[in-house]
Copies of this chain bind each other. A is one copy, B any other.
Amino acid sequence: MTQRKGPLAGVRILEIGHFIAAPFAARVLADLGADILKIEPPGGDPVRTWGAAVDGHSVWWSQHGRNKRSICLNLKAPEGVAIVKRLVADCDALVENLRPGQLAKLGLGDDVLRAVRPDLVIAHVSGYGMSGPARDRAAFGVIGEAVGGLRYLTDHPPGKSDLPPVRTGVSIGDSIAGLYAALGIVSALLGRTRGNDGLTLDVALADAVLSLMEGMLPEYGRLGTVRRPTGSTIPTAAPSNAYPTKEGRWILIGGNSNNLFAKLCALIGRPELAQDPRFLDNRLRVQNMDELDEIIAGWTRRHTAGEALARLEEADIPSSSVYSVEDCVADPQFRYRGMVRDVDDPLIGPTLHAGIVPEVVEAPGEVAWTGPAVGAHTDEVLAAAGIDAAERERLRAAGVIG
């Protein structure tokens, strides 16, 4: 095993994850240097069948599975379960997203795991959580996003469109839950150095989404206000919107501080608006948002996106076009920071990955390797756990390992 780089080098975490949430938690920990042992069933994580493939190898997997070691184990076989226990003995943490209680049914309940490794940190990720009346309900990212209140708001204002509220285009409920799980694991490991035992984390997709809904709960609780979808605007800040350009594209402008607003008024040739009683501060601008947005759109419609953005940038006003992946890849900032980076994947060939977040200046993480084939590290990891070649041959023939 290569020595990993990053602040989590030396931390070892077992992943019994599938699809997105737990694997994403493990990916961000792996990006920061943790040694992730990912247990995959024969055939592999089913996420490998999502999206485009090259020679039967998932392209997304190149990034989603990177920096991890893949161990192929049949957890329905008692010997497979026994191997997990051997591996757990050398792990600091475990992250999983089977249905609540399923790991215990396999013979790997928290008590069993802690009998092997008393200070093990255990993170359970699920749709609704490990407790409560909905605990046993199935959920995906889409459901967590809806139940957490995000999906309702990802829409145009009521009456403006007959179409349903949209997804964000990615399973963001899974990613957010994954980030919370990663944060919880590292926090529990830090707590362990300060005297805690191994802690148990219970991360629900729906909870994770609800936790970042800003003033939605306090405003309903205190004032009875139901936050409604507001399309491309921000209900608490103005001007901030998507504005149409001469060629019919959209650009985003955020001019919602008094200072930025004054610069924007000057730029569009209407400096007097900064003193207009309708627009004197953010609260007034929010009240008179439609009028203000129409004035700004009057300016953007007279310019191409390129012209308008060049002038906005010159005036130091937050602005951008709506980037597709082509724009992300062409962006010199992303390239400069290694956030769009070339990688050579032995399974699918040369491709692009996102870089490592956060950038750790003195101990940067790295893409040490791309998403491995199912079981690529089974032999290496099992040998290190004291299971010799003859035994591995027997286990492989019996369908316990792959």
Question: In whole Å, how far is A364's beta carbon from the nearest beta carbon of chain B?
Answer: 10
Question: In whole Å, how far is A169's beta carbon from the nearest beta carbon of chain B?
Answer: 2
- Is A218 a contact of B62 with CB atoms below 8 Å? yes
Kindly state whether residue A384 has any CB partner on chain B within 8 Å. no
Within the complex, which residue of B6, B184, B230 is in contact with A358, where a contact is CB–CB below 8 Å? B184
- Is A333 a contact of B217 with CB atoms below 8 Å? no
Kindly state whether residue A350 has any CB partner on chain B within 8 Å. yes
Q: What residues on B are CB-neighbors of A151 within 8 Å?
A: 252, 322-323
Chain B residue at smallest Cβ distance from A213: B170
Question: In whole Å, how far is A252's beta carbon from the nearest beta carbon of chain B?
Answer: 5
Which residues 196-245 of A sit at the B interface, judged by CB distance below 8 A? Answer: 196-197, 199-204, 206-208, 210-223, 225-237, 240-242, 244
A219-B51, A222-B351, A325-B216 are contacts. A339–B210 as well, Cβ < 8 Å? yes
Within the complex, which residue of B149, B320, B355 is in contact with A324, where a contact is CB–CB below 8 Å? B149
Q: What residues on B are CB-neighbors of A166 within 8 Å?
A: 154-156, 166, 229, 231-232
Kindly state whether residue A75 has any CB partner on chain B within 8 Å. no
A152-B169, A282-B50 are contacts. A64–B214 as well, Cβ < 8 Å? yes
Q: What residues on B are CB-neighbors of A127 within 8 Å?
A: 318
Within the complex, which residue of B24, B135, B152, B202 is in contact with A361, where a contact is CB–CB below 8 Å? B202
- Is A180 a contact of B179 with CB atoms below 8 Å? yes
Question: In whole Å, how far is A315's beta carbon from the nearest beta carbon of chain B?
Answer: 10
Which residues 307-327 of A sit at the B interface, judged by CB distance below 8 A? Answer: 313, 316-327
- Is B217 a contact of A328 with CB atoms below 8 Å? yes
Q: What residues on B are CB-neighbors of A165 within 8 Å?
A: 232, 242, 250, 322
Interface size class, chain A: 35 or more
A360 and B46 alpha carbons, distance in the complex (Å) = 29
A139-B318, A161-B161 are contacts. A50–B237 as well, Cβ < 8 Å? yes
- Is A129 a contact of B359 with CB atoms below 8 Å? yes
Q: What residues on B are CB-neighbors of A279 within 8 Å?
A: none
A236 and B313 alpha carbons, distance in the complex (Å) = 37
A363 and B396 alpha carbons, distance in the complex (Å) = 41
15 pairs, CB–CB < 8 Å, chain A vs chain B? A9-B191, A51-B235, A54-B223, A58-B215, A62-B222, A129-B337, A132-B332, A143-B252, A143-B319, A148-B328, A152-B322, A170-B212, A204-B357, A216-B328, A218-B352
Beyond A51-B219, A146-B320, A207-B354, list 13 extra A-B contacts (CB 8 Å): A6-B187, A129-B333, A147-B320, A150-B169, A190-B193, A204-B337, A206-B339, A207-B357, A216-B328, A218-B352, A221-B353, A222-B348, A222-B350
Query: Nearest 7 A-B pairs (CB), nearest first?
Result: A153-B169, A221-B352, A60-B215, A7-B191, A164-B242, A221-B351, A132-B336
